[in-house]
Structure 1
Amino acid sequence: MLTSTVISAAEESVNPLIPTIPDLVWGTLAFVIVLAFFFWKILPAMNKALDARREAIEGGIQRAEEAQAKATAALEEYTAKLAEARGEAGTIRDQARADGAKIVAEAKETAQAEAARVTANAQAQIEAERQSTLVSLRSEVGTLALDLAGGVIGESLTEDKRAQSVVDRFLAELEESEKASK
C-alpha cells in the first residue's frame, strides 16, 4: 500500500505552488485561531502598554509644564526680591549719607564751639595778663617818672599825692591815645 501511494503520487503531476484543499482548510483554521488569539490577548495588552506609555508621556509633559510654571514664578519672585533689596540698599545708602553729613556737621559744630571756647579763654588770659602788665607798668613808670622829675628838680617827689595824680593822668592820656590809634 505504501508503494501504491508512492507510485500514484509519482504518476500524478503535483504543482508544489498550489496547496491542496486539506492544507487550505487547516491553514485557514490555524490562521483564524492565531488571529483570534491576537485580537483577544495580544492586541489588548499592546493597547494597554501603548495607553500607559501615552499617559506617561502626557504626565511627563504636564509635569514639565508645572515645573516650568514654578520656575517662572520663582524667577519673578527672585526678580521682585532683588529689586526690593536694591531699593532697600539705596535707602540704607541714602540714610548712611545723611547720617554721615549729620555727624560731620555735629563734629564741625563741636569743633567750632571748642575753638570759640579756646579763643575766649585765650582772650581772657591775654586780657588778664595785659591788665597785670598795665598795673605793673603803671607803678614802675610812675616811680621812674617821679625819680626822673625829682632828679631834674633836685627834690624828692615820692611822697606827694599830687605827683601821683600827675602820673595817673599822664598814663590815662597815654592809654586814650593808644586806643584812638587802633
Structure 2
Amino acid sequence: MNENLLPFDIGPLNPSGYQILVCFVSFGIVYVLLAWRVLPRAADIVKRREEAIYGVAADAEQVRAEAETVRAEREAILAEARHEAARTRQRAHEEGLELIAAARAEGQRERARVLAEGAVEIEAARTVAEAELRADVDLWGLAMAERVVGEPLAIGSADGEGPPRTAAN
C-alpha cells in the first residue's frame, strides 16, 4: 500500500498515515494543555484587564460626575458672590450719593449762615461808618467852604451848645 495519504505525488504536502497520527496525537496533547492550563490563565488575565480598563473607566466617569457637580456648586457660589458684590457696590454707591447730598446740603447751610453773618457784619460796619461820617460831615463841609471862600469860617455847634467851631478845631 501507499504510505502517502493521497495517491499522487505532491511532495512534502502529502503526509503518510503515521505522520497524520503523530500530528493528531500531538495536536490533542497541545490542545489539552492549552485548554487546561494556558487558556484559563489567559481568560483570567483578559478578565482582569477588562475589569481594570472598564473599572477605571467607570471610576473615571464617577469622578468626572463628581467633579462636574463640584464645578456646578462652585459656579453657583461664584455667581452668588458676584451678585452680593454687585449689591454691595450698589449700596456703597447709594450711600456715597447720600453722603455727597448731605455734605452739599450742609455746605449750602454753612454758606447761607456765613453770608447772613457777613451781611449783618457789613450792615453793622456800614452803620458805624455812616455814624462816624455824619459826625464829621459838618467839619468837612466847613473845611471845604473855607477853601472855596479862602478865609476861615466859624459856625455854631450842631447841638447849639459850646463855642463855635472852625475847621482847625
TM-score between both structures, scaled by the size of structure 2: 0.70
Instruction: Write the distance in 1 (CA, Å) between the matches of 2:3 and 2:75.
Output: 88
Aligned counterpart, 2:55: 59
Matched, 1:114 2:110: yes
1:80 CA drift (Å): 0.4
Instruction: Write the distance in 1 (CA, Å) between the matches of 2:77 and 2:41.
Output: 53
1:53 CA drift (Å): 1.2
Instruction: Write the distance in 2 (CA, Å) between the matches of 1:13 and 1:143.
Output: 178
1:160 alignment partner AA: G
1:58 CA drift (Å): 1.5
Q: 1:26 to 1:139 in 2, by over 3 A?
A: same
Aligned counterpart, 1:19: 16
1:15 alignment partner AA: N
Matched, 1:46 2:42: yes
Q: 1:35 to 1:136 in 2, by over 3 A?
A: same
Instruction: Write the distance in 1 (CA, Å) between the matches of 2:76 and 2:2.
Output: 93
1:25 CA drift (Å): 4.3
Aligned counterpart, 2:64: 68
2:103 alignment partner AA: A
Instruction: Write the distance in 2 (CA, Å) between the matches of 1:108 and 1:43.
Output: 94
Q: 1:13 to 1:86 in 2, by over 3 A?
A: closer
Matched residue of 2:16: which SS?
coil
Q: 1:123 to 1:14 in 2, by over 3 A?
A: same
Instruction: Write the distance in 2 (CA, Å) between the matches of 1:73 and 1:32.
Output: 58
Aligned counterpart, 1:172: none
Name which structure has the greater RCO, CA cutoff 8 Å, separation 6+.
1
**Kindly, what percent of the aligned residue pairs are identical?**
31
1:145 CA drift (Å): 8.0
Q: What per-residue deviation string (whole Å, max 9, x for no partner) do you get for residues 8-66 of structure 1? A: xxxx654363533x545444333222221111101111111110111012112212211
TM-score between both structures, scaled by the size of structure 1: 0.66
Instruction: Write the distance in 1 (CA, Å) between the matches of 2:86 and 2:104.
Output: 27
Structure 1's unaligned 5+ residue stretches are 1-11, 149-153, 162-182
Bigger Cα displacement from structure 2, 108-117 vs 48-57: 108-117
Structure 2's unaligned 5+ residue stretches are 6-13, 146-152, 162-169
1:19 alignment partner AA: S
1:23-34 residue pairs with structure 2 within 5 A? Answer: 23-34=19-30
Aligned counterpart, 2:150: none
1:86 CA drift (Å): 1.8
Aligned counterpart, 2:101: 105
